[in-house]
Amino acid sequence: MTKKGKIMVKGPVLTIASAGGHLTQALCIMRRTEHFHIVTSAKVELDVGAIAVHVIRDTQFNPFIHALNIVSAFRIIKATKPAAMFSTGGPICLPFAMLAKTMKIPFVYLDTLSRVQELSNSAKFLRRFNLADRLLTQWAGTAEKYPDIEYLGKTFAIDRMPSNTVPLAKPIQDLDTQLILDDGSDHIQINTSNT
C-alpha cells in the first residue's frame, strides 16, 4: 500500500487542501519550502508563501463537481508541472490523486489532525484504491489500527490562551515529528520520524 521511507523529488510541490483546518495544517508543513503551489476551495487573501494559489470547487459527494474538478486538476497539473503532490485532505484532493497515479507523480496524503480514531473519507478512498504513494496519520492509534498507514506525529500545536481569545495554530518546531520539506537546492525530502 504505502511505502515507508523517503520520496526524493526535484521541483515544486503541488499542495491540495480544502479551506479551513486542512489548509492550516498544509501551510504549517509548506512553510519549510519556498517552491510550492496551493490548490484550495476558497480564495486566499493572505500571502501564504506559495508561488500561486489555485481555487477549485469544493465538493463532498457530488459526482458532477468531481468530474469538473478532474478537468481543473489536469489543467493545474499541466500548468504547474509538480515534482510531487501533497494533501492534508478534503475531497478536492481526490481528482489530483487519481491524475497523479496515471501521470506517475508522487502523491503523499496526511490525514487531518481532527481524525483521532478513524480515517477520513478521503483517506479511506485513497487507501482503498491505492492512490497515494504514502498515507500518513497524526495519531499513533490510527496507525496501529491500519498497519499500512504511517504515523507522523502532530504537524502543529494550539497555543494555550485565555478563554476570551482565539487559539493560534503554530507549527511544531521538533522536525523529527513532522513532515520534512527541505528546500535546499530545490530538493524536497519527504521523511518521517519512524524511518
Question: Read out DSSP for 69-81?
Answer: HHHHHHHHHHHH-
Could you list the pLDDT tens digit for every one of the 195 residues in the chain? 334 555 566 788 999 998 888 888 888 777 767 688 999 998 887 778 888 899 999 887 788 998 999 999 999 999 999 999 999 988 999 999 999 999 999 999 998 877 777 899 999 999 999 999 999 988 888 888 998 998 877 766 544 433 433 333 444 433 332 333 333 333 334 443 333
Please give the single-letter amino acid code of residue 185. Answer: S
What does the block give as the cell for 181? 520539506
- CB 46 within 8 Å of CB 62: no
Which residues 6+ apart lie within 8 Å of 109 measured at CB?
86, 87, 88, 89, 93, 97, 122, 123, 126, 132, 134, 135, 136
* Superfamily designation of domain 7-190: Glycogen Phosphorylase B; (3.40.50.2000)
Domain boundaries in the chain?
Answer: 7-190
> What is d(CA 142, CA 159) in angstroms, rounded to the nearest whole number?
24
- What pLDDT was estimated at residue 9? 64
Q: Which helix (H) or strand (E) holds 54?
A: strand 53-55
- CB 38 within 8 Å of CB 44: yes
Altogether, the residues listed in the chain come to a count of 195
Buried b (16+ CB within 10 A) or exposed e, 91-125: bbbbbbbbbbbeeebbbbbbbbbebeeebbebbeb
Look at residue 37 and give its three-state secondary structure: strand
pTM, to two decimals: 0.77
Output DSSP code: residue 3. -
